[in-house]
Structure 1
Amino acid sequence: MSQGIYISKNAAVTAAVLAAAAMVTIIALSVAYSKQKTSAGEGGGAGEGGGGTQVGPTPAPEPKEPWDRYRLPDTLSPVSYNVTLWPRLEKDEGGRYIFTGHSAVVFQCVKETDLILIHSSKLNFTMFEGHQATLTTLDGRRAPAIRTTWLQPKTEYLVVQLSGTLVPGRSYQLYTKFQGELADDLEGFYRSEYVEDGVRKIVATTQMQATYARQAFPCFDEPAMKAVFHMTLIHPRSTTALANGRDAVITDTILEGTDVRITTFEPTKPMSTYILAFIVSDFGSIKKDDSSSTTLVRIWARKKALELGHGAYALNVTLRMLEFFESYYNTSYPLSKSDQVALPDFNAGAMENWGLITYRETSLLYDPRTSSNGNKERVLTVIAHELAHMWFGNLVTLRWWNDLWLNEGFASYVEYLGADHAEPSWHIKDMIVQGDVQRAFTVDSLVSSHPLTRKEEEVNKPEEISQMFDTISYSKGAAVLRMLSEFLSEPVFVKGLSSYLHQFAFGNTVYTDLWDHLERARRREGLHLPDSIHEIMNRWILQMGFPVVTIDTTTGSISQQHFLLDPDAVVDRPSIYNYQWIVPIKWMKNRVEQEQHWLTDKTAVFEPMRVSGGEWLLANMNVSGYYRVNYDLQNWERLFTQLSSNHQAIPVINRAQIIDDAFSLASARILNTTVALQSTRYLVQEREYIPWQAASSSLYYFFQMFDRTEVYGPMLAYLKKLVGPLYEYSMKIDRPLSHTMAYTRSIALSLACTTGVPGSNEQVLEWFRQWMREPNDIGIDPNLKTTVYCKAIAAGGEAEWNFAWEMFRNATVASEAARLRSALACTKVPWLLNRYLQYSLDPTKIRKQDATSTIGYIANNVVGQSFAWDFFRSKWDYLFKE
C-alpha cells in the first residue's frame, strides 16, 4: 500500500485558496504556451497519411558472393568449441596489451559445400602451410584440402575455400591460432583498469553482445548457432580466472619462461556466442553458504569494495530472486553457479552472460553509508533483469536480432516482479509506469519510431543490430508484454510461458512461438478474448506507435487514433493494420471498477460509459494498457474536482496518468493547455512520489519552452505555490522515510530550489559548503545528494566546481562518482562547461564508458546547450570511432 497523508481542515482551506489563485496563472500560462506552440508549428506539412505517394529508396543489390553477405549460410552448424586464451596483463614491446590463443571448433555439415565462413574480427592468425587454419575430420577420414584462406574485413569473416566438398551429416574440426589486442574499447575481449592502494591493476574481461565474440576467437557468431564451449584460460598465478562454467582443473606451470596458472572450466550447456564470458582479475569474492541451494552464488568486485561491504546487498537479493524466478518459470535454474562481477569499465549497465553476469559497478555495488535509495533500487532491478534472462534469452534464445524486443522487453517487464518479490515493501511494480511505459510513450509518439519487430532481412549489419537496442525494444516491449499479462491474467500468462520454455529449452524461437503457447494456455483456461492472441498482439508488434482512446461520457462513444506528438507529421511507414489496434480498456466509474471492455474498431458506442450528474469515469486502470486516454471536457473537469476534493479516491498510478496524459495531449494540440495545467492544481495536497514524478517530468517541458520568455517568472511563482507545502512537509519528517517518500523529498527539494521556495537554496548551499569545510563528513542525506550537488554547483563558482571535481576524482564508490559527474555539468559558468567538455574525451579524467553521458549532462544545462552541440559536431569522428 502506498503511503497516505491526513489533511487537516486548515490545510484544506489553504489548498482551496491556492487552487483559486492557480487558475489565474494557469490561464495566463496556457495563452503563452498556445502562442509558442502555434509559432513553432507554422509551416507544418500534411497530416497522417498525407503527402501523396511515398517513394522508397532503391534497394541495394544482392551480394554475389557468400562472403559479401552479413548472414552466415545454412551449410554448417557448430557443435562445440575448445578455446584456450592467454591474456597478457602487462604491455609488450610495442606498448600494447595483447592476448594469444588457439581454438578448435567442431561443426557438422548440413548441406554440401566447398566453403567455410566463420566470423573473425581484429584477429591476426598464425599461418599453417600457407593457410590461416587447418581442417580435419573426427572419424579419421581425410578432410578436403584447404585451397586458400583470407580475411574479409567488411563482413568480418575468415574465409576458408576448399579443394573438395564437405559431406552432409559428417563432422569436421577447424583449428586456428591467433593474436588479438586487449584494447580499452569495451568490446570483445578487452581490458579494464583501476587503481587500488596506489597500484594500477588490469582486468581482462569480455562483452560479446551483440557481434563481438568474433573479436576474441573465430566463431559462428549468430544467436541460433548454439554450441558447447570448453574454455581454458592462462593467467598470472596472482589472479583468478572466471568463465561461464565452474573451474574444473587448475594447474601451475611455466610457459615461455613465465610462471602461469592454467584454469580449465567445465563445459557449458549449448549456448549462443553472445552470452559467452571470461575474466582474469585480481578481484575478491563473497558467497552465501546456503545448504538448501545447489547453486553456487558469488559476487566478485574490487577487494576494497567487498571489504567495505558493498557486495552484501547484491548477494542477498540474488538468492531471493533466483528462488522467485525458478518458481515463476516453473523451471530450475539451468546452471551449477551464478557469478556476478562488478567491472570498473563496462559499456552497458549489465550483461546477462550465462552463469557469469557482468555489471557496471553502479549496478551491482551498494554502500549503505553513502548510496541513495535510487542506487539501491538500481542494483535490485538490474540484477532482476539479468537473472530473468538466465531463462528467457539464454535457455531459450530468439533466432535472430530482429526479435530482440521480446528478449529485452520481457526481462524489462519481469524485473519488476523479481524486484517486488525481493523488496515487497517498496511497491516497485508500480514503478514500471514511469520507468518504462511513459518512457516508451515519449519515443513511440514520434514519426521516427519503428515497430517492435522487423523482418530478418532488414537487420543484417552489426550497426543495424546495434540499433535494435533502443527504448522501443526495452520499454515498449515491457509495456506491451505487461498489457498482455494483464488481460490474460498472470496465472494464464505464466502457464503459457512455462510451456514455451520447456519445449524450446536450449533452442531458438521466433516471437510467434510464444504467442502459440499463450494461445493454448488461454484456451485451456476457457478465457474469452475478442480475437486470437496472434491477431491482438501483432497489431502492437508489427506497427509502430500507439493509440489515444477518446471517450465521450455524454454519449458513450469511444474512438481511437494513432497518437503523434506532432499532429502535422507525415507517417510514411505503411501498416497492414492501418494504425488500428485491438484495445483492452479497464475502467472505473465513481470509484467502482467495471468489467473490462475491448475496443476493436476505430469507433464504437458503449452505453455503460455514459455518465450523469457528478459521476466521473476513469479509463486504463493502473495504466495496464499501452495507450493514452482523452475525455470530453466535462469528464476532465469532474476528474479534477475529484482530485481537489479527495485525490485518494483515484489510484495513485492513475493520478500520475491523468497528469501525464493531459500534458502529452496538450503538446499534441489535442487538449487545451489550460485543461492540462488544471491537472496540477490538486498537487498542493499530494504527497505520493509517482504523481509528483509525472508532474515534474511534464513541467520540465514548460521550463524548456519558457526559460527565456516573459512568462517564466509567473510560471515559477505558480509552481512555487504547488511545491511549497510538499517541501515543508517532507523536510520536517523526522521518522524513517519509506522508499518512495525518500524520492518525493528529493523532488520537493529540487523543485523548491528551482522555483525559489524561501530557505531551500540557502539550505542546499549551507550543506554543500559544510561539506567543503569538512570533506570527510558524510552528513548530507544520500537521497538528497543529487539535488544538493547540482543546485550548489549551479549557484556557486569555480571554488565549488573545483571541490566537486576533486571529490569526483577521489571517489571510491561508483554511485558517488556518478552523482558528482552529473552535478559538475550544472555550473552556469561557461568556461567551466567548456573545460568539462574537453575533459569528457580524456580517458584519464572521464572513463570512456561515461564520455557520451557527460556530454549529455552538459547539454541538459541551458547554459551548456550550444557549447555541447558545437562540441559534439566538431568531435563527431572521434566520438563515433571510440
Structure 2
Amino acid sequence: MGAKGFFISKAVGVVGIVLGAGAVATIIALSVVYSQEKAKTDAPVAPTDGTGTTLPTVPTPAPSNEPWDKYRLPESLVPETYTVTLHPRLIPDPITKLYIFTGTSHVVFKCVKETQLILIHSNKLNYTKALNGFLATLTTEGGGAPAPAIKSSGLVEKTQYLVLQLSDSLVKDQKYKLSTTFTGELADDLGGFYRSEYLENGVKKIVATTQMQPTDARKAFPCFDEPAMKAIFHITLVHAHGTRALSNGMETGTTDQTIDGMSVQVTTFEPTKKMSTYLLAFIVSDFGFIQTTLEGVLIRIFARKAAIDANQGEYALSVTGPILKFFENYYNATYPLPKSDQIALPDFYFGAMENWGLVMYRETNLLYDPLTSSNRNRETTATIIAHELAHMWFGNLVTLKWWNEVWLNEGFASYVSYLGADKAEPSWRVKDLIVLDDIHRVFAVDALASSHPLSSPEDSIVLPHQIGEQFDAISYSKGAAVLRMLSDLLSEKVFVQGLSSYLNHFAHGNTVGTDLWEHLQKAVKLNGVVLPGTVQDIMNRWVLQMGFPVVTVDTTTGIVSQEHFLLSPAPNLPSPYNYEWLIPIRWMKLSGLQKDLWWLMNSTEVNMDMKTAGDEWVLANIDVTGYYRVHYDRGNWEKLIGQLKADHQAIPLINRAQLVDDAFNLARAAIVPSTHALQTTVYLSAEREYIPWQSALDNMQYYYLMLDRTDVYGPMQDYMRSLVTPLYLHFNATSGWTNVPEGHTDKYNQVNALSLACSTGLKECQNLTTSLFRQWMDNATHNTIHPNLRLAVYCSAVAAGGAAEWEFGWEQFKYATLASDASRLLSALTCTMNKTLLERFLSYTLQPAMIRKQDATTVITSIASNREGQDLAWGFVRDNWNYIYTQYGVGSFNFAALISGVTTRFSTAEELQQLVEFKQKHSATGFGSAELALNQALERTQANILWLQQNKQDVLQWFTNQTLTH
C-alpha cells in the first residue's frame, strides 16, 4: 500500500458546494445519533434513515440471519477507488457545541458476484439524503446498463453498516459508483477522525487527526473497512487558513475557496498506492516541521511549533533516514513512497501508528530533547520509529488478510525494530534487550491457561472487541520471539532471502501466514538448510498452540524432555499438537565450547553429550534464542549457581539473566523451591551489568507484590538493600550522581542502583534524592537533576516527602513543555505514600482537562502499583467502571492493561471474591478489549493465593537468614 495523496477530477470549487449542502440540517440529527449510540444494546437493530427513524423496508427478524447482521462483509463487492473530501471544523458549532466534520465520498467498486444488496461500513456518521430520497446514490461506472434503483437505505448500528437494498441485481464484473454526503462528530474519543487539544501560549489549539486501526476508518467515511479490501484513495481536505493539511500522500496543491460564506483552503493529495482502509490518515493542524531529503525521499517531522522550535524533532529526523535505508537493504525492496512524514500528537492512544507515508506518534515516542530527555527516551524514539518504518513494507505493502494473524504483522515489526535501532545506534547493543523487554515479558502471560495461540481461526475473530484483543503482548512480544528464533535457526541470510521473496511476490496484496512459511521454505531449499521438517511444520507448533515448553535437561542421564509450562496446573487444555514442539537447542558446557544446534523432536530424547561428571555443567538455550524455559537436575542447578558466585562472567551475559528468570518462574510453577530461585540473586552483589540486574528486579517485583503487605516486607527490604549497596557505591565512585556512565545499558543500571537503594531505605541515597529535589523546589526554573535520573529522584523524593513535594511536582507537570518530562512527573506523583493525595490524583483521571485521556489508565495502574494505592485504585475502578468503560473500553488498544494493573497484587480470598463479583456485576455491560485480561486476572489471583500459602514461611526464613549472615 502506499501513501501518496489525492487528486480531484473536477474543479475543486465543486467540493465546497457539496460539503456545505445539508451540513446545518444534519448537526442536530448528529447529536441524536450519538445519544442513541451511547445507549445501544446488543439486541438486533434494524437499519435507520440516519435520524433514528427505523425503516420498515429492511426488517430484522429475531433470530436473524440477514447479511447485515453478520460482522464480516459479503464477498460480492470489491472496492477499487475512493474519492473522499472531508472538512473538519476546528471550532465548535454555536448551537450544538459539537465539533463536527462534513464529507463526501465516491467509492467505485466492482461486482464480483451478483447481488441486490450493498453493505458498506459506517459508524457514527449521519447522512444527508440525496435527491432520490435515500442515503446514497448509485451509478454505473465505465459504461454498461444503468445501475438498479435503490429500494431502501438505512443504518445498522450493531454491525456498523450502511445498507442499500436494490430493485434489481448488480451485474457481475460491472463497476459502480456509490456517492454519499455525511456529517460526523470530531469527538475527543481518540478513534476514527477525532480532535486533539493542547495549549500554546495560553491559547487552546485544536488538531483534527485520525486513528483508523483496526476498525475506525468507518467513523470517518463509509468504506469497505476490512484489511483485504484494498483500494486507491483520492483525498481532499478542506481547512481553515493558517492550518496545514496532511494525508498519506504528497500534497499536490492548495487553493482558496469560499464555502458557506467562509474563506477556506482546499488541499489535494496524490492518489495513494493500493492500500487498506486502516492505514489512512488525515491531519489538519498548525504544527511546525523540519525536513530533509534522502535519495529522493522527503522526510519530515511535524509537531507543535514550540516543540519544533526547541529542536525536539531533530533526533527523529537524524535516525529516520538511516533506518529507512536499513530496511530497504534488509527487505531488498525500495521504499515505495516519495515521502515519509512523522507527526507527534498531544493525544494519541496508541504508542504510534504506521499509516503509510504519515506515521503518527505519541509525543513521548517521537520527540527528544538532548538537554532534558533521558537515555530511555532516546532508545524509545529509535526503536518505535524502527517498528513503524518496518511496517511500511511488512504490513502496508503486503498486508495480512484478516486480524486473526495480526501477530505476524506486529510481531515482525517488533523483532526487526531492534535491528533497525541497532543500525541507527550500533554502540547500544540494543538487540540484546529483546530478551528483557519482549521475551521475559511475554513468558509471564503465555504461561497462563488463559493465554491464546498466536494465530486463531479466522471466523473466531469477528467482533470489534475480539479484534482489539489481538493487539496484546502475545501478538507483539511472542510474535517477535518466535520470529527471532526462526531467523536464528535458518540464519539471518536465509531468513531475509525468503522474506524478500515474500514481499516482492505479494506487493500491494494480501496474504495469510502460510504464504510466508512457503517463501521461507523456498529459501531453505535453495540454501541447503537441514531442518527436522518444513518451516510450516516447525512454526505451526509455535503459532497454532498457545504457551511454550519448559525443556528439562538431566545431566546425570543425558535425558532431555519437554512439557507445557504453566504457572498453575490446568488439565485438559486443547491443543492441535498435544503441547509438543520441535525445539531448537543451542547449548554449552563449562569449558565454554558452544555446541551445534540440536533439535528436541519428541517429548523425551537422550543426548549423551549433555551427560556430565565432576564440576562440569551444562547451559542450554544460549542467548535465549529459543522461545522456552530450561530446567535442570538439582546437581546442575547447584553447579550453575556456584559458577555465578565464583566467576559469573564464565556464563554469557544474557544467560545470567535467563538463569534468574527461569529459576523464579520454575519456582512460581512449584517445580523448584522459592528459596532455590532466591539463591540465583546472591551473586548480584558482584554483578555490574544491567541485563541480569533487570531480570532479577523484574522477578523480585512479584515478591514485592505478594509480600509487601506482610511481615516478610522488612527482611526482604534488608536483603535487597544489602544486595544493591555495592552497585550504588560503584556508580557513586565511578560516575557520581551529576554525571552518567558512557555505556548505554550502564546508564540504565545506574538508574536501577539509585532507585532500588532509595526504595529499600539506604539513607545515603534517600538524603541524596531529597536534597536534589529540594534544590529544584528552591529554584524551579533550574533543574540540575540529570534527565536519566529524574524519574528515580522524583519518585524517591515524592515518596519521602509530603504535600509540598507533591504539589510542586503537580505544578511542574502542568507546565512541562517536553512530553517525556511530563510523563516522568506524572509517574512520580503516583509514588506518594499520602492516601489523600492518591485519592485526589485518581479523581483527576475523570477530568480530561487535568489528565489527558491517553494517560488516564496509566495513572490508575501506577497508583495500583504503589502499596499504599492498591486498594484505592481498585475501589476507584469499581466505583467508576461505567465511565471508565465508556471512555476507554470499547476497542481501546491498551485498555486490558488497566485490568491487569489494578489486579496484579491480588493474593487473598477476599480479593478473588471481589474480582468474581466485579465480573458478575458488569457482565451485561461487558469489558471490551479487557475481557481476556479479566479472565487472566482471575486465574492469576488464584495462583497468587496458592503461592502465598505455600511459600510465605520459607521465603521469610530465607530472607531472615540472609540478613543475619550479612
Assess same fold via TM > 0.5: yes
Specify the code of the residue in structure 2 equivalent to 1:586.
R
Determine the structure 2 residue equivalent to 1:419. Answer: 421
C-alpha distance 239-318 of structure 1, shift in aligned 2 (>3 A)? same
Determine the structure 2 residue equivalent to 1:669. Answer: 670
Secondary structure at the aligned position of 1:412 is classed as helix
Determine the structure 2 residue equivalent to 1:574. Answer: 574
Determine the structure 2 residue equivalent to 1:626. Answer: 627
Secondary structure at the aligned position of 2:478 is classed as helix
Secondary structure at the aligned position of 1:759 is classed as helix
Specify the code of the residue in structure 1 equivalent to 2:304.
R
Q: Is 1:531 aligned to residue 546 of structure 2?
A: no
Q: Is 1:180 aligned to residue 184 of structure 2?
A: yes
Query: Using the alignment, how far apart are the partners of 2:711 and 2:441 within structure 1?
Result: 30
Determine the structure 2 residue equivalent to 1:643. Answer: 644
Q: Which has the higher contact order (CA 8 A, sep 6+)?
A: 1
- C-alpha distance after superposition, 1:674-696 (max 9, x if no partner): 22111111111111100000011
Specify the code of the residue in structure 2 equivalent to 1:598.
W
- C-alpha distance after superposition, 1:298-351 (max 9, x if no partner): 000011101111000000100010000000000000111100000000010000
Determine the structure 1 residue equivalent to 2:211. Answer: 207
C-alpha distance 63-494 of structure 1, shift in aligned 2 (>3 A)? farther
Q: CA deviation at 1:572?
A: 4.8
Among 336, 342, 345, the residue aligned to 1:343: 345
Determine the structure 2 residue equivalent to 1:103. Answer: 105
Specify the code of the residue in structure 2 equivalent to 1:846.
I
Is the 2:239–2:284 Cα contact (8 Å) retained in structure 1? yes
Counting only pairs closer than 5 Å after superposition, residues 484-633 of structure 1 correspond to structure 2 as 484-566=486-568, 568=569, 570-590=570-590, 591-633=592-634
Specify the code of the residue in structure 2 equivalent to 1:760.
C
Determine the structure 1 residue equivalent to 2:818. Answer: 813
Query: Using the alignment, how far apart are the partners of 1:754 and 1:612 within structure 2?
Result: 43
- C-alpha distance after superposition, 1:614-634 (max 9, x if no partner): 111110000000000011111
Query: Using the alignment, how far apart are the partners of 2:336 and 2:572 within structure 1?
Result: 45
Is the 1:392–1:407 Cα contact (8 Å) retained in structure 2? yes
Secondary structure at the aligned position of 1:166 is classed as coil
Query: Using the alignment, how far apart are the partners of 2:558 and 2:874 within structure 1?
Result: 49
Among 432, 437, 443, the residue aligned to 1:441: 443
Determine the structure 2 residue equivalent to 1:328. Answer: 330
Query: Using the alignment, how far apart are the partners of 2:572 and 2:418 within structure 1?
Result: 35
Determine the structure 1 residue equivalent to 2:313. Answer: 311
Q: Is 1:227 aligned to residue 231 of structure 2?
A: yes
Determine the structure 2 residue equivalent to 1:856. Answer: 861
Determine the structure 1 residue equivalent to 2:270. Answer: 266
Specify the code of the residue in structure 1 equivalent to 2:801.
G
TM-score (normalizing by structure 2):
0.84
Is the 2:563–2:603 Cα contact (8 Å) retained in structure 1? yes
Counting only pairs closer than 5 Å after superposition, residues 51-200 of structure 1 correspond to structure 2 as 63-93=64-94, 94-128=96-130, 129-140=132-143, 141-200=145-204
Is the 1:104–1:176 Cα contact (8 Å) retained in structure 2? yes
Query: Using the alignment, how far apart are the partners of 1:623 and 1:336 within structure 2?
Result: 39
- C-alpha distance after superposition, 1:186-241 (max 9, x if no partner): 00000001111121111000000000000000000000000000000000120000
Q: CA deviation at 1:732?
A: 2.2
Q: Is 1:218 aligned to residue 219 of structure 2?
A: no
- C-alpha distance after superposition, 1:277-306 (max 9, x if no partner): 01000001101144xx11110000011101
Deviating beyond 6 angstroms after TM superposition, the runs of 4 or more aligned structure 1 residues are none
Counting only pairs closer than 5 Å after superposition, residues 824-843 of structure 1 correspond to structure 2 as 824-843=829-848
Is the 2:193–2:209 Cα contact (8 Å) retained in structure 1? yes
Counting only pairs closer than 5 Å after superposition, residues 364-443 of structure 1 correspond to structure 2 as 364-443=366-445
Secondary structure at the aligned position of 1:271 is classed as coil
Is the 2:81–2:107 Cα contact (8 Å) retained in structure 1? yes
Q: CA deviation at 1:637?
A: 1.3
Determine the structure 2 residue equivalent to 1:35. Answer: none
TM-score (normalizing by structure 1):
0.92
Determine the structure 2 residue equivalent to 1:713. Answer: 714
Q: Which moved more, 1:704-713 or 1:543-552?
A: 704-713
Among 281, 287, 295, the residue aligned to 1:283: 287
Is the 1:447–1:571 Cα contact (8 Å) retained in structure 2? no
Is the 2:495–2:523 Cα contact (8 Å) retained in structure 1? yes
Specify the code of the residue in structure 2 equivalent to 1:519.
Q
Determine the structure 2 residue equivalent to 1:14. Answer: none
Specify the code of the residue in structure 1 equivalent to 2:598.
H
- C-alpha distance after superposition, 1:405-441 (max 9, x if no partner): 0000000100000000000000000000011001110
Query: Using the alignment, how far apart are the partners of 2:124 and 2:442 within structure 1?
Result: 36
Query: Using the alignment, how far apart are the partners of 1:616 and 1:719 within structure 2?
Result: 28
- C-alpha distance after superposition, 1:366-406 (max 9, x if no partner): 01111100011111111000000000000000000000000
Q: CA deviation at 1:706?
A: 2.1
Among 772, 776, 783, the residue aligned to 1:778: 783
Specify the code of the residue in structure 1 equivalent to 2:267.
T
Specify the code of the residue in structure 2 equivalent to 1:607.
M
Determine the structure 1 residue equivalent to 2:702. Answer: 701
Query: Using the alignment, how far apart are the partners of 2:647 and 2:227 within structure 1?
Result: 53
Query: Using the alignment, how far apart are the partners of 2:379 and 2:731 within structure 1?
Result: 21
Q: CA deviation at 1:733?
A: 2.0
C-alpha distance 154-521 of structure 1, shift in aligned 2 (>3 A)? same
RMSD: 1.1
State the number of aligned residues: 818
Is the 1:84–1:234 Cα contact (8 Å) retained in structure 2? yes
Is the 1:193–1:200 Cα contact (8 Å) retained in structure 2? yes
- C-alpha distance after superposition, 1:689-744 (max 9, x if no partner): 00000011111111222223333222222222211110000122237421111100
Is the 1:191–1:203 Cα contact (8 Å) retained in structure 2? yes
Query: Using the alignment, how far apart are the partners of 1:706 and 1:127 within structure 2?
Result: 64
Query: Using the alignment, how far apart are the partners of 2:463 and 2:421 within structure 1?
Result: 35
C-alpha distance 638-186 of structure 1, shift in aligned 2 (>3 A)? same
Secondary structure at the aligned position of 2:540 is classed as helix
5+ residue gaps in structure 1? 1-60
C-alpha distance 398-367 of structure 1, shift in aligned 2 (>3 A)? same
- C-alpha distance after superposition, 1:95-143 (max 9, x if no partner): 1110001000000000000110000000010101210000001134311
Determine the structure 1 residue equivalent to 2:939. Answer: none
Q: Which moved more, 1:496-505 or 1:725-734?
A: 725-734
Specify the code of the residue in structure 1 equivalent to 2:296.
T
5+ residue gaps in structure 2? 1-61, 888-966
Query: Using the alignment, how far apart are the partners of 1:62 and 1:655 within structure 2?
Result: 59
Specify the code of the residue in structure 2 equivalent to 1:680.
T
Secondary structure at the aligned position of 2:788 is classed as coil
Secondary structure at the aligned position of 1:164 is classed as coil
Query: Using the alignment, how far apart are the partners of 1:711 and 1:860 within structure 2?
Result: 18
Secondary structure at the aligned position of 1:260 is classed as strand
Query: Using the alignment, how far apart are the partners of 1:761 and 1:721 within structure 2?
Result: 15
Query: Using the alignment, how far apart are the partners of 1:407 and 1:623 within structure 2?
Result: 22
Secondary structure at the aligned position of 2:168 is classed as strand
Is the 2:709–2:867 Cα contact (8 Å) retained in structure 1? no
Secondary structure at the aligned position of 1:203 is classed as strand
Q: CA deviation at 1:781?
A: 1.3
